[in-house]
């Protein structure tokens, strides 16, 4: 578990300090969950986290997972990865971005955001509404599913 370090700068030590710097105590559950989200750069639900952690020998109760996710999100170390209906997904807080959700396999892919928080559609907002956050979800087929189902534009099979 400590013989090989993942090729990245997000070491356990640096994660530990970022937790402490945000005013939280660096407990094992928090470290492990933050590590998992940072390592995978993925979009994981509470239940997925619980299963992954259990496999790695870190069994956590469901309440703990939700507590940790709530706390880490509150201090901004992680954030919700809005992907539509279904269980809430979380991701390591990095650059603001949007999400592409494959309607076939359900995978979630990050989409860069050119002008964070201020998409071009903003001028269409009815007067009186104060927009503080904009969330864009693109839906469609990911590269893999487009090929598999023969729905790709290049494939052209009908």
Partner DNA sequence: AATAGAGTTTAGACGAGTTCTATGTTAGAC
Partner DNA sequence: GTCTAACATAGAACTCGTCTAAACTCTATT
Which positions lie near DNA, rule CB under 7 A?
20, 24-30, 45-47, 59-64, 66-68, 70-71, 85-88
Closer by beta carbon to a copy of itself, 23 or else 85: 85
47's contact among a copy of itself, DNA, none, with CB below 5 to 8 A by partner kind, is: DNA
Residue 120 binds a copy of itself, judged by CB under 8 A: yes
Tokens of 21: 């710097």
Contact track, a copy of itself, 31-50, x by CB under 8 A: --------------------
Three-class secondary structure of residue 45 per DSSP: strand
What is the sign of the dihedral through the CA atoms of 148, 154, 155 and 158? Answer: positive
- Work out whether the CA dihedral 122, 128, 134, 139 comes out positive or negative: negative
Virtual CA dihedral for 101, 120, 112, 19, nearest 10 degrees?
A: -100
* Contact assessment for residue 90 and residue 79, using Cβ atoms and an 8 Å cutoff: yes
Shortest distance (Å) from residue 143 CB to a copy of itself: 3
Nearer to a copy of itself, 16 or 97 (CB): 97
CA distance 59 to 127: 50
Nearest alpha-carbon partner for 96 in 68, 124, 136 = 136
CB of residue 147 vs DNA: minimum separation in angstroms? 27
Residue 131 binds to a copy of itself (criterion: CB under 8 A): yes
> Which residues in this chain contact a copy of itself in the complex, by CB under 8 A?
80, 82, 84-85, 88, 98, 100, 103, 109, 111-114, 119-121, 124-126, 128-143, 146, 151-153
């Amino acid at each position: 578990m400590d013989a090989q370090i993942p090729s990245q700068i997000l070491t356990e030590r640096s994660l530990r300090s970022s937790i402490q710097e945000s005013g939280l105590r660096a407990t094992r559950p928090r470290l492990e969950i933050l590590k998992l989200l940072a390592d995978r750069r993925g979009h994981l639900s509470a239940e997925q986290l619980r299963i992954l952690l259990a496999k790695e020998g870190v069994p956590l109760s469901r309440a703990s997972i939700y507590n940790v996710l709530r706390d880490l999100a509150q201090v901004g170390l992680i954030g919700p990865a809005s992907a539509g209906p279904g269980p809430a997904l979380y991701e390591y807080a990095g650059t603001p971005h949007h999400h592409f959700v494959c309607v076939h396999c359900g995978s979630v892919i990050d989409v860069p955001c050119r002008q964070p928080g201020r998409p071009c559609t903003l001028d269409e907002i009815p007067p009186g509404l104060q927009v503080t956050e904009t969330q864009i979800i693109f839906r469609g087929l990911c590269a893999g599913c487009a090929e598999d189902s023969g729905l790709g534009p290049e494939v052209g099979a009908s």
